Structure 1
Amino acid sequence: MSADFYRAFEDKFRGSRELILSRLDVYLPFVRPIKEVSGQPNALDLGCGRGEWLELLDREGFDATGVDLDEGMLKACEQLHLNAHKADAIGYLESLPDASVGVISAFHMVEHIPFEALQQLVQQALRVLVPGGLLIMETPNPENLQVGAHTFFYDPTHQRPIPPMLLAFLPEHYGFARTKILRLQQDPRLDTAHSPNLEDVLGGPSPDYAVVAQKRAKAHILAQFDQAFATDHGLTLHTLATRYDASRVQQIDASRSLAQRALSSAEAASSVAQQALSSAEAASSVAQQAFADARLTRELITTFEATLQHYQHLTAATEQRMNDLLNSTSWRITGPFRQVSKKIRWLTTGLIAWATLKPGSRPRRTARQFLLKLRNWIANQPKLKATILTIITSFPYLGNKLLAIHRRYPHTAQNHTQQKNAPSPSPENNISTYKETLSASRKRSADEILIKIYAELNDQRRTSK
């Protein structure tokens, strides 16, 4: 493999230098407490590549050294004046004294070496690290099925994918105090996605992961790293698959509910259709009846029009006969006789009305006015009242008749007594009241006037006794 091949491969598939630097920020909460533990913090990056991690450690104040076997990669470090050497990673570790390094890292290196070499790397790192020092190993994540089955094999120098639980087991087995698996570089959209699709499940879990292992140290030293080790990172295949299953169950339940609603709607629609069919049949029956009624109505209208025409003809004929009659010689000759006959009928009707005092007739109104005047005149003639009383007493039948009328209308006599006892209105001061009283008196019937006369005469008789 040529010297510049792997650098060109890294530039194309790993990402730009700026992108890698931004991704490495996730390790700063782990390495910054090292500066508190050691006055002169140092670090060793195995397989340093283009030197992004060395550059970040330099910014953080670490004395960082990198080793790599690829000369093309080392040229990138030399251009940035980074401390990088060409050396074998395991051999370089073996040359270092015990407890001499604060941080040892291997970014995307462990998948390039045999498993036996990886075991040696972990053991030598434990020896070289200071108490509380960190071992960081980042590698592609085979939990991401797209990575484990496809993109991992883009790099021809890769040996085999290493599952996260296996890589975390190695430092535990060789005596590190604690380990933390960091799943990295997943799509931020999936962090809060509750309904991932199948493609998200296959390629959504964190495409890279890292194992951060810490060497044993005193409790107060380890306590400075507790927050970093307690923070979770990334998405597992299990998490996304569980979300996917839950969303599918919800979709199935929703589909089942939708199907049930659709079935209910279909049944309701069928019922409505049946009702509509019944209504249509009823409407058809009504329409047929209406058609029959309309036909009968047309027949009746035709008959009515014929009858109307018949009566119009009769009316026209009658009018013609009337005109002929009115214009005839006999009608003109009998005209005086008709006028005499009309006068005779008028005279006969008047005589009957005067003889019977027919209600509502002019004779009855005239008699009423006469009786009113007679009553008023008799009321002012005490001797005449006594004479009339004597005459009525001589005719018991007439007296009893008047007494019966008085008993039938007692309020009339009472009203007469009240009017008798009341002071006479003054024509000068109560002209309107006098006119109203006189008008009301004129409206009373002849029977009422006779009753009042009898009542006054009766009162006069009791007074004379």
Structure 2
Amino acid sequence: MEKGNRLEGEFYTYLNQMGHVDREWNENVLAYYVPFFSRCGRVLDIGCGEGQFLELLGAEGIDAQGLDIDPGMVERCRQKGLDVVEADLFDYLPRHRETFDGIFCSNLIEHLSAEEAVQFVRLAFDALQEGGVFLIATPNPASLIVHLHEFWRDATHVRPYARHLLEFLLFQAGFREITSGENPRTVWTPSPELQAVPSVLKDLLPRSLDEWRTLMRAEAPLPSPRSFWRRPIVRLRRRAARFLVRTVMFEEFAALNHALSALLSNVQQIERALYSAWANLLLIPREIFAKGIKPSGDEANGAR
């Protein structure tokens, strides 16, 4: 695990150096979680990184301590005057039972296997005082962007965790009053060019049955003067076709017309459903969270 954490630290240092990290955006995302700890006296941020969440809590007058295994991250935090401990959470938490009334971790649990995640949540439960708040934030597996780009670019990510799985882990550990949700500040905003794609695609399909008819009976260009002798034949064929449609094939044409109307309606419904599905996959928030409260007294013992 130590090698994995070193690799992760080097990876995010590289992203910083290449200018791929938007600190202002990250701070805005983390600020969404601050109100959940408004009644807490002492909060532990596990995997605190460069300490942005610690700074946000401090600005609200909340006593906050960070925990990170990466010495580089710990050093950056200490240079800011933040209270941060360099340690592995699996070593640190068992030595600090019932110490905190709030524990936060963002983008950490996806680095753990299922077995490690179960152990971690239970250790967090034990490290909280009665009535303490525990909140986990992690990439949203329901987001197509997370799957195609953000999640697997980090070599130390082990597996994604869905909302219901997070809720289960908290419940199994003994937490109650469990809630979960999406961080609305992590919605992806596509570029203007991509925003225009749905309208462009929509224009490619006929909007009405009349447009379908226009396409189906579009006439070929009139013959050139050199082939003027073909005009009477072409006109005769068209008149014959109209005669057949109006007489012999009237019923068949009516049935075809009805079928085309139904087909166009179905195409439009499918089109709207596809747009909605793609919008849900692309534009839903990229981060989810689950929160639980450690019950008090006998209720806490019964929960375990």
Q: TM-score, normalized by length of structure 1?
A: 0.41
Report 1 or 2 for greater relative contact order, CA contacts < 8 Å, sequence distance ≥ 6.
Answer: 2
Partner of 1:28: 34
* Same amino acid, percent of matched pairs: 31
Q: How many aligned residue pairs are there? A: 208
Alignment deviations for residues 342-387 of structure 1 (CA, whole Å, 9 cap, x no partner): xxxxxxxxxxxxxxxxxxxxxxxxxxxxxxxxxxxxxxxxxxxxxx
Compared CA separation, residues 146 and 187, structure 1 to 2 (3 A): closer
Alignment deviations for residues 245-295 of structure 1 (CA, whole Å, 9 cap, x no partner): xxxxxxxxxxxxxxxxxxxxxxxxxxxxxxxxxxxxxxxxxxxxxxxxxxx
Compared CA separation, residues 177 and 198, structure 1 to 2 (3 A): closer
Q: Does 1:144 align with 2:143?
A: yes
- Give the distance between the partners of 1:133 and 1:179, measured in 2 at CA: 12
Partner of 1:121: 120
* Post-superposition offset of 1:207: 0.7
* Post-superposition offset of 1:187: 4.3
Partner of 1:75: 75
Partner of 2:251: none
Partner of 1:186: 187
Partner of 1:48: 48
Instruction: Choose 1 or 2 for highest CA Rg.
Output: 1
Compared CA separation, residues 127 and 12, structure 1 to 2 (3 A): farther
Alignment deviations for residues 2-23 of structure 1 (CA, whole Å, 9 cap, x no partner): 6644323367687333222222
* Post-superposition offset of 1:47: 0.8
Compared CA separation, residues 23 and 73, structure 1 to 2 (3 A): same
- Give the distance between the partners of 2:290 and 2:14, measured in 1 at CA: 27
Partner of 1:423: none
- Give the distance between the partners of 1:134 and 1:8, measured in 2 at CA: 34
Q: Does 1:108 align with 2:114?
A: no
Q: Does 1:215 align with 2:294?
A: yes
Partner of 1:441: none
Contact 1:133 1:214 in 2 (8 A): yes
| Letter of the structure 2 residue corresponding to residue 58 of structure 1 | G
Partner of 1:161: 160
More strand by share: 2
- Give the distance between the partners of 2:150 and 2:17, measured in 1 at CA: 15
- Give the distance between the partners of 1:64 and 1:96, measured in 2 at CA: 15
More helix by share: 1
Residues 269-418 of structure 1: matches in 2 within 5 Å? none
Contact 2:101 2:129 in 1 (8 A): yes
Partner of 1:60: 60
Q: Secondary structure at the match of 1:167?
A: helix
* Post-superposition offset of 1:105: 1.1
- Give the distance between the partners of 2:291 and 2:19, measured in 1 at CA: 24
In the alignment, structure 2 segments of 5+ residues that lack a partner are 1-5, 196-271, 298-304
Q: Secondary structure at the match of 1:130?
A: strand
- Give the distance between the partners of 2:17 and 2:134, measured in 1 at CA: 26
Partner of 2:24: 18
* Post-superposition offset of 1:198: 5.0
Alignment deviations for residues 309-363 of structure 1 (CA, whole Å, 9 cap, x no partner): xxxxxxxxxxxxxxxxxxxxxxxxxxxxxxxxxxxxxxxxxxxxxxxxxxxxxxx
Contact 1:152 1:158 in 2 (8 A): yes
* Post-superposition offset of 1:108: 0.4
| Letter of the structure 1 residue corresponding to residue 291 of structure 2 | V
Across the aligned residues of Structure 1 and Structure 2, the Cα RMSD in angstroms comes to 2.6
Partner of 2:268: none
Partner of 2:232: none
* Post-superposition offset of 1:169: 0.8
Q: Does 1:202 align with 2:208?
A: no
Contact 1:172 1:178 in 2 (8 A): no
- Give the distance between the partners of 1:76 and 1:8, measured in 2 at CA: 15
- Give the distance between the partners of 1:175 and 1:13, measured in 2 at CA: 42
Q: Secondary structure at the match of 1:154?
A: coil
Q: Secondary structure at the match of 1:181?
A: strand
In the alignment, structure 1 segments of 5+ residues that lack a partner are 35-40, 219-465
Alignment deviations for residues 17-74 of structure 1 (CA, whole Å, 9 cap, x no partner): 322222222223211123xxxxxx1111111111111111111222211111222222
